Amino acid sequence: MRSDNHVHTSFSTDSDTPMEAMVQRGIELGLDSVCFTDHIDYDFPDTGNGVEFLFEMEPYFEMLSFLQGKYPQFEIRRGVELGLKPDLAQRCNALIQTHPFDFVIGSTHLVDDTDPYYPSFWEQFSEKDGIRRYYEITMENIRTDTKFDVYGHIDYIIRYTPTQQKNKAQGIIDEAYMDRCFRDSSDMIDEILRLLLAKGKGIEVNTAGIKYGLGHTNPQEKVLKRYRELGGEIITVGSDAHETKHLAYAFEGIPELLRKCGFRYYTEFRKRKPEMIPL
C-alpha cells in the first residue's frame, strides 16, 4: 500500500501533529501520497472540556496548497471526515458542495449525542443493545443522503465496548468475542452495506482496529468479505493516524487481506472520483 487515505493532523481537535510532519513521515515510509481527512463534527456535545471537532476551512486549504508546493514529489490530497448525525445532512452537504475536496469520509461517532468512546455511553445499554443502536443510527445517517464517498470504520463501536476495553488492557485478542459481535449484528450490517451499495458509496479498511487491540481492521474481515459478496468494489485504505508513528499502520498485511476477501483493487479518490488501483 503506497497511499494512506485516512489521516488526521493538528487541524483535528484530537491531534497535535503538524500536517508537515505527516508529509515528512509519509516520504520517509516511501508512500506516494496521503489524503488528509481532518475532523468536522458539527454539534459535538460539550463534555465539559470545551472541545469542538471543527476547524477553519481557509487555513486548512492554504496549508494543503503550501505543502504540495514544498513537496512536489509527494501527492497531497484534500479530504475531510464528517461526523454524521441524522439532523446534519443539509449542513454537511453545504460544506461538501462549497469546498474542493478530493475525498469525503462519512462516519458515525455519536449515538444519540453520546460518543461510545466514553464509559457513560455503556451505562445506558448492554453491549449487544449498544452496538445495535450504533448500527441503527448508522442506517439513519446513510438514509439522509449526505454526499460522502465512503463510510468510515463501520464497526467503530467495537473498539470501545467494556469487554474490548478489558481485553485491550490485558493484551488479549478475543476471536470468539469478535465473531459474536459480528453474528449478533450481521442482519444490520447487511442492511448497512446494501444501503451504501444502493447509493453508490464505498467503505474503508481502517487499520486503527489493529492498533486498538482488536486483532482486526475496522471493519473486520467478515464485513469486508460480505461487502464484496454483495457486489461492493469501492474500498479505501487508511490508518486513521493522529500521530506520525501510526501513519500507514499495519499496511503490510492489507493487500493479502483484501485479496482473501475477494478484492482485486483498492480505491483512491481524486476530485471526488474513485480510481481503482490494482493490488
In the chain, % of residues over pLDDT 70: 99
Alpha carbons 263 and 229: distance in angstroms, whole number = 10
Alpha carbons 18 and 243: distance in angstroms, whole number = 9
Low-confidence stretches of the chain (pLDDT < 50) are none
pLDDT of residue 50: 64
Find cell 439532523 and name the residue: 87
Tens digits of residue pLDDT in 43-52: 998 766 667 8
User: Domains along the chain?
Assistant: 3-278 (3.20.20.140)
pLDDT of residue 46: 76
pLDDT of residue 131: 97
Query: CA 222: distance to chain centroid?
Result: 17
In which element (H, E) is residue 258 found? Answer: helix 254-260
**What type of residue sits at position 102?**
D
Residue 70 dihedral angles phi and psi, to the nearest 5°? -75, -30
pLDDT of residue 52: 81
Model confidence, pTM? 0.96
pLDDT of residue 48: 67
Ordered DSSP codes for 166-214: HHHHTT---HHHHHHHHHHHHHHHHHHHHHHHHTT-EEEEETHHHHTT-
> Are 3 and 31 within 8 A, CB to CB?
yes
Three-state DSSP class for residue 90: helix
Alpha carbons 229 and 243: distance in angstroms, whole number = 34
Q: Which residues contact 89 (CB under 8 A, 6 or more apart)?
A: 144, 145, 146
* Planar angle of CA 142, 179, 159, nearest 5 degrees: 60
pLDDT of residue 204: 98
